[in-house]
Structure formats: C-alpha cells, structure tokens
Chain A
Amino acid sequence: MGGGSSPSTAGRSRWRETLTAWSFALPFLLLFLVFMAGPILIAMVTSFTDLRVTDIRNPFAIEFIGLDNYLAVLGDPRFQKAAANTAVFVFVGVPLTMALGLAAAVGLNQGIVKFRTFFRVGFYLPVVTSIVAIAVVWRLLLGTEVGLINSTLSIFGIDGPGWISDERYALWSMIAMAAWRGLGFLMVIFLAGLQTIPRDLYEAAEVDGASAWQRFKGITIPLLRPTLLFGAVMTGIGYVQFFEEAYVMTEGGPLNSTLSMVLYAYRQFGFGNYGYTAATAFVLFVAVATLTIVQFRLFRDETR
C-alpha cells in the first residue's frame, strides 16, 4: 500500500477486497443455499409436521406435531430391527472390508510382483461396476434352487441353504457381497498410503531383528493411521446408507432380516408419509455423524 493513501482509501480498498471475495464465493453460495441448505431446512421443518402425500396440493394446511414423528420412528419395532440390521452391517462389514482391503494392499505392495496390474484391476473392477448389476448377478449366484453356489455344493452332495431366502443367512450374504465390492476402493487408498512409508524404516527394523508381523504392527499400522481413518470414515458412511443390495436382492426380506434404515425410510416415502420420512432421515443423519465422531476418536493420532 502506497505511503500517500489516506485511511479512507485504505478502507475502500478493504471493502472492495471483501466484495471481490464474496463475488467469487457467490455462485457456490447460491447453489449451496438453494440446493443444499434450503432443502435441508425444509426437511427439518417437515420432520416436525404431519405432511403426507395427500397434502401436497395444499402444503400449508398441515399441523406441527412436535417430536411425534421422531418418537414414532424410534418406537417402531420395525425401525429398531432396521437399525439393528444396519448396525450389524456396519460393525461387521467395515472391519471386514478394511481387513481385506489392507491385506490386498500389503500383498500387492510387497509380495505379488507378477500380474500386479491384473490383480489391481480385478479387485477394483467391482467398485466401478453398477451396484444394481452386481446385486442381480449375486442373486443368481446365491439362489437357493438354481444358484451357482448351491449347484456346486450339490455336486458334493451338500444341500446348500437359502443364502438370501433364509433369514439366518441373508444379512451375512450381503455383508460378504459388500466387503467383496468395497475392498477394491480401500485397496487403492491403502496402497497409496503404504507407498508413503519410508523403506529405510523397514530396513532398520529388519536389522534390529523385527519379524514381519512386528514390522507390520510397529511400522505399517501406526504410519498408516490417517489413511485407515479415511478408509474407515468413507466405508462407514457408505455402509450406514446400506440400501441397493437389499432393495434389489431381497426387498428387505425374508422376515425383515435385511431391512436397512435407508430402505425403511424409502418405503415410508413411498407410502407418502413425508413428515415421518424426514424424521427418519434425520435419525439416520445423527447415526452417521455419531459413527464418524467415534471413528475419529478411535483412530486419533496418539503421537500428537
């Protein structure tokens, strides 16, 4: 700033800078307000009303019913079942997917030299394939009477169970499918993380006589912690929203054993209970937020 500028010109240029900054931020801000914050606020208001599909021609003729929708959602045994299923899906699915992803990444980083690209593509392919296509193919695979798995088992005289038609196995079949589908994404992320770990650390440890397991536990895991956190958060958010697999393969059945929270909300929306659905969505939002906070605690960098 020039020495001759008076306080008023300084103020004006400050003002202009602010204006420029806002004008740069404005396009995003407008889009955000109109398409994100606005709808979220409306959904929030809706969740406290008894808005139904039959009210849409006259949306102001609705009653505010306070927390009734939230109490009804939380008190519905079917929602509790859906929440329990989703919890199993997340708490079994996320660690399983991460373990498989990490195993694949470590394997590809160290052991497997030949066909490395082949394996990378093979593991990553399910990630870029439409989940609906995957679910349709897996349904053929897991079919009770004509499924590939049970047909194979029957060669050995084993009468395979209904992998997705028996309520004892259906959710586990879906966890297996989700883990198979999700491991490719984590593998790529973890592989990138592994490559940032300096080689000399391993060499130094080897000189000190550390076993492979000790090196993995003492070097790989601690240094990979931020990457693991990222993987856990992303996978967790995805798995809480578990929907397509159940929607395509079982419609939440048999006996609601694969009913997820999102599927529950989706059905309520289909029934036209918009206020109730909005409340369900906010419960889901709280679940995702809580899970993420817990994960941040769990993977917190202890050296800091």
Chain B
Amino acid sequence: MKGRTLALTGWVAAGVLLAAAPARPAEKRLFVFQGETLVYSYDHNQIYGEKVAFEVLGYKVTAAYFKGDILSRQVLAYGNVTLTKDAEKIEVDELVLSLESMTGTLVRYGPTIETSPLSAGAAGTEGKPEAGPAAVPAAVPAGVFDGINLDKIKKSFLSFSARTISLTESFEVQGTGVTMYLEGIESMGFKRFRLSDGVGPRRNGFAVNRIWYNKTQGLIGRASYSIEKPNKVASLTQLNYEERSFLKNNHGIERQVDLLSSTTLTFSETLRMGFTGNYNSSSQWNVQTWVGKTWSPAFTTQFDFSYNKPVSFRGEAWLGLQSQLSAGPWGNLAVQGRYELRNQAVAGLNYGVSFLNHFSLSLQSYYSRVKIGDSRDFAEIFTGGLNLAYSSRLFNLGTDYFLNYDLFGGQVLSQPQLRIGLNPIVFYGGLLSFSLNNIALYSHIGREGLAERSFSDNAVLSLAIQPVELFKDLRLNLNLALEQFVEREGRNFTTGGIVFNAVRKIGEGFSVEAYYSLSSRRRTRGWLIEGTTSQDLSLVARAAVGDAVNSWVSVSYDAKNAQLRQSFADLSFKVVRNWSLHAILNYDFFLKKLNNIDLYIVREAGRLQFRLIWRSLSRQFLVEFVPR
C-alpha cells in the first residue's frame, strides 16, 4: 500500500515538476502565437489555429487560420491576413514563414497569384505584393501544410489545446492555459506546459531533464548543466540520481549517483583542448585531459593524460600520444602509444594503402605490457598482421599473416592464410549462377622448444538457379552447395546441400511458400566413413492486406521421422484508428505445448509508438514509448 502511494505521488510530482519548470529557462522565445482555437499534436509536431495573432519581423500579424509544421520549420497564416507596423498596413491572403531563415512570403490571389518577400524593412519593393508567377512554387510549399488539420490533430495519441503556444530558439514548443488530450479525450489541465522538446542544440543553463519513479529503480532524477559558446567552449555536465532505499524489495545499494562532465575548449581552428570527468558513487572515477593539434588537413596529433580509479584496485595514470597521417596515394598511417607511471605501456601502428587499382595492403602491429591484477608480474604481448589482397572482376585473391607473440608465456602463434574466390559466374542469361571459394590456413604454435603445426583447406562450391516462374502465380527457386574440408591430420569432411523453395500466390495479398532442404555431412578418415543427413520441410502462409493485416504462420515437418515439429506465427492486425494488435506465438508439436506468446497492443502515433506488451516467458507486462 505504501509502495502504491509512493508510486502515485512520484508520478504526480514528476508530472507537476516537469510542467512547472521549463527545461531551458534561459532560452529566448522566437514566437508567441495566440488564438481563439490553438491545438498542437505531439505525435506529428504540428500546430493548427484559428483567429490567431503573433508578431514577426516587427509586424503584428492577425489571420483567420494558422498551420505550423515544427519539423520542417514552416508556418502558414491564411485567410484575411493583416500585417501592421506603425502606420503601415498590408492585407494579403497568405503569409508563409520559414522559421529557420526567418524569411517570409506574402501571397495574394487576384487575377493572378501574386507573391512578394517579407522582410523586416518592407514587404516587397513598395510594401505591396508583386505579380510573380515564376516565384510561386518555391514560396508556397503546399505539400507541407496539406496534411495539417484540426481532425488530424484531434486523432493524435497525445494532443494539447492552449491559449498561447510559443516556440523557443531550439524549437521547443511551450504552452499556457493548456489542456492535454489522450486519444482526443481531455485528461489534465496545466497553466503552463512544455508540449515538446526542442531538437536544436542544447543552450546554456541548468535543466531538470527527468524526475520519474518506477518500482524497480525507485526514484530517478536526471539534471544537466551546459555552457556553449560557438567556436569557443562546449561543456555539458550531467547528474544522474537513483534512490531505492524506500523500495520494499530492494536488495541492492540504496542509492546511486553518477556525475559525468565533458568540456571542450577551442583556441583556434587547429588547436583544441578537452577535459572529461566521471564519478560513480560506488567509488570509481576517472578524469582525462587532452590537447588536439591539426598540423595540416592530412596530419593530426593528440596528447592526453588520464587517471582511472576502478573499484577495489589502485588507480592508474596514463600519458598518451596518437597521430594520424593521410598521405594520399602513399596510404594512411596511424600510430598510438600510452605509458603508465608504474611502467605499463601499450603501442600500436596501422598502415593501409591501395595501389595499381586492384591491390590493397594493410599492416597492423600492437604491443602491450600490462600488470596482471595487483601482482608485480606483467603480461607482455606482441601481435602483428599483414594483409595483401587483389580483386578483379573475375576473381579475388588474399593473403594474410597473423603473429601473436606472448613474451611473458614464451608462446608464439604464427598463422599464414591464403584465400581465393571466383566471383559468381552466370550462365544461360542469368538463370544459373556458379561460384567457388577456397581458404587454406596453416598454423604454427611454438612454446619452450616444442612446435605444433596444423593445416586445413576448405573449398566451397555453390550453384544457384534464379527464381523461375513456372506457371502464373507459381515461382520456384533452387540452390545447390558442395563443401570440401581437408585437414593435415587426415580428417576430411564433405558437405552437400540443396534448398528448394516454391511460392504460390493464392489471391491478392495471400501466398503459400514451401521450403525443402536436404543436407548431408560425411567424414572420411582412412577407411571409416561416417556422417549425418538431415531433411527439413516447412510451409509458410502469408497474408498482407493493405495495412490492415500483415501476418504469417509457418509449420515445419521432419520428413525423416514423419512428424510435425514446430509452428511459428507472427500475426498483426489493425484494430481501430491507429491501434493494432500484434502476436508472436510458437507451438512445439513434439512437446504438445505453446512455448511462447508475446502480445503487443501498439498505437502508431507519428513520431512515437506506444506499446503495451505481455511476454509469457518472463511473465512481464511492459508499457513502452518508443521514439520513431
């Protein structure tokens, strides 16, 4: 009972706090729209209004109708549009505004369609629209506004009506005198409410991003502080807090605090410096500072110093250097090295180049000397790799060499590899396609004077037939594959397989598919031949009728033992409005049991999806808002 009370209180507090405090109080409002009717759809990020008034470029604007599409940053005022500034008065049929560029176009529908630009100084050359048929298409983006109307907003999952709606610099939508509607049904009123997050860059200041409650994590708080001065400073500090002490079944830590901070200073176009720091209340923390220098567009270097304090271990202080050089046709080179004050070190080198149109070469080398736990011993490993590849229209050829030298354990792994592949060749006008690939691998492991060698070769041949229309509404597909695996130890495997697929359309939106696969794997060792053969047969029925039904059901059959095995179903139906029902089921014929049912009730809501989910395996009921 206590838990329930707390949960309810948490929800109310969260909602109220979010409503009460606009997240970015420092942000300037670009527009304030007032209207006799003013509604906003969260799903579609669109506004519709009637008898509206607002100010733009120094003009007071009134209009009979108003539409706003925040995503495309366009608004349209139409119907007896009047713009007044001091003694100047302009009357037009439409005003189209681009919020991003702060430019406007005035439109009048007379004997021709007349347009003129709206600027802070004057509208058109003499304050009146000019005839300009050629300019109209760009000025009147009909497609953007055609889809905005009151009924569409009313049918949104989440919508609001408000006395005023304002837009901030980052296109956050705020409202006053707000009523919130869920599926068009009034649910709650607010004096002031943030209707939608902005999508622009985060502005300076403190923000409470989230205060929430759930019964597994308890009370959750997220806050951030940011400073941004273009081309000078960008800093973001985030505080995450979770309080679980009051949870009835809490067995873990009572609370957790995370503090994450990152700052970048830009001194010039070629010189930048950064600081990051992270702290977790479980006593682990780390800090890093770095300086990045761009010597030329092709050559960059970064120095860094970091200190990392893990839980239960001593902290480590590392100095690092990374450099990258792009030498055009001569290739790209990257080197990095890091040294720790207790004599640990890591270093790496990467080089890659393409030449003579068809060849590519890459080289990697790494060295690491790191402590084993808190002991005095070091693990010391050197690895290297070399790859040379040739590719042409007909075939591709590649050779690799990999070396791993464990200097502490005294073990060396050396592994050359050769790959050759014949690109698919088509016959009979594309009906048949043939390809062949071979990989040969040699391994040498040396340790304390002992050597272990192994060799293997794997050849894969495949033959595929393009889908064939046998009759009207019947299509066949066939694939054959043969694989030979040879080992130095004499263990040889031969694998062959065939996949047959037929699709039959049985009406508009309905089809039945049959799959048959036969595969056999044989192992030969001296005179002994052993192996397995398997057959699979499955049938799939599909139904796709517009967006109302989109489902399939499959049944698999074990031809060898003549018995049904499994059935899977993925059923999706549109129920009403934008609500749909989705079910995923799995039935095991052998165990005669329904293994799994996942049920989804989904509401498509423009830029988000609302889902109620029941999972039988975990016996979980979930409520999700998924951004699209």
Chain A complexes with chain B:
no
Q: Which residues does A use to contact B, with CB under 8 Å?
A: none
